[in-house]
Amino acid sequence: MTMADLQNSPDSRRISIDKVGVKDICYPIVVRDKSRVKQSTVARINMYVDLPHQFKGTHMSRFIEVLNQYRGEITIQNIWHIIAEMKERLNASCAHMELRFPYFIEKQAPVSGARGLMEYQCRLRGVLGEQKDFFLAVTIPVTTLCPCSREISHRGAHNQRSAVRVEIKAQKLVWIEDLIAWVEGCASSPVFSLLKREDEKAVTEMAYDNPMFVEDVVRAVTEKLQAVPEILGFRVECENFESIHNHSAYAMVEQGDI
């Protein structure tokens, strides 16, 4: 018995679709780790292709079939093999793959040396059309201390936790660890998962000695990224979750091909 293939049937509306596919697949992946060779984590994966106007639909099951072929072997390095196979299997001119995942780095407290794992939310995005485009985004929690508050106050200054989100377009591998280190060096102080009393004293004083407006953070990160030849374009966003205001402070810089 021959079953009808409605997806391949013609559509008369002459409207092409930029992205069609499957979204929010929970799947294990492997990420290269600068200090431990590799790290296993779990990603939320989106897979899309373009659809020419003459076809009614795409074959959704083929996305999952391609993904399952690489089960246990999904890495940043072979993401292009997966995207190329999507493009071929679905007869597309452009294919996209997005992966969102937590990434963990062991950090030492500055004085006691106490060790703890810090989580960073990451996103990888690959686009294969006439050329390859690779994007990496990381959200880095930091501490910022208000320069104005320190200047006008006789006893202390207000500070807050902030989130810096950096997305880069790169032509070669940029380590997640390096991107995090560059951003943390542009804040008043890094954030740690484990601090003893002597560490709390050290990071509090570090923040006081390095006051940063939200504008200062994005400008400092911009200078760092401009100096990295592998980066073709970037977007830097900083949001301060203000401790004495009922709103957040925000700044963004975007440069190059992003």
pLDDT for 73: 79
More confident residue, 39 or 72: 39
Average the pLDDT over 218-226 and give the result.
Answer: 98
Say yes or no: 26 and 88 in one domain: yes
pLDDT for 9: 60
Say yes or no: 94 and 163 in one domain: no
Say yes or no: 192 and 242 in one domain: yes
Say yes or no: 91 and 215 in one domain: no
Say yes or no: 248 and 137 in one domain: yes
Say yes or no: 142 and 25 in one domain: no
DSSP state letters, 140-163: EEEEEE-HHHHHH-SS---EEEEE
pLDDT for 33: 84
Decide if 1 is inside a domain: no
> For the chain, what is the domain count?
2
Average the pLDDT over 77-86 and give the result.
Answer: 92
Average the pLDDT over 135-150 and give the result.
Answer: 98
Decide if 38 is inside a domain: yes
Q: pTM above the 0.95 mark?
A: no
CB proximity list for 94: less than 8 A, separation 6 or greater:
49, 50, 87, 127, 128, 129
Tens digits of per-residue pLDDT, 228-258?
999 999 999 999 999 999 999 999 999 998 8
Domain boundary among 41, 76, 107: 107
Say yes or no: 136 and 212 in one domain: yes
Residue 111 has pLDDT above 70, yes or no: yes
Tens digits of per-residue pLDDT, 117-139?
999 999 999 999 999 999 999 99
Average the pLDDT over 27-49 and give the result.
Answer: 91
| Contact (CB, 8 A) for 182 and 225 | yes
Q: Report d(CA 178, CA 84) in Å as an integer.
A: 28
Say yes or no: 240 and 168 in one domain: yes
Average pLDDT value over all residues in the chain: 93
Decide if 194 is inside a domain: yes
Domain range for residue 24?
A: 15-107
Decide if 4 is inside a domain: no
Domain boundary among 64, 84, 107: 107
Strands (E) in 171-242, as ranges, are: 189-190, 231-241
pLDDT for 43: 96
Say yes or no: 165 and 68 in one domain: no
% of the chain with per-residue pLDDT over 70:
96
pLDDT for 3: 63
CATH code, domain with 193: 3.10.270.10
Decide if 6 is inside a domain: no
Tens digits of per-residue pLDDT, 4-16?
556 666 767 889 9
| Contact (CB, 8 A) for 236 and 186 | no
pLDDT for 8: 66
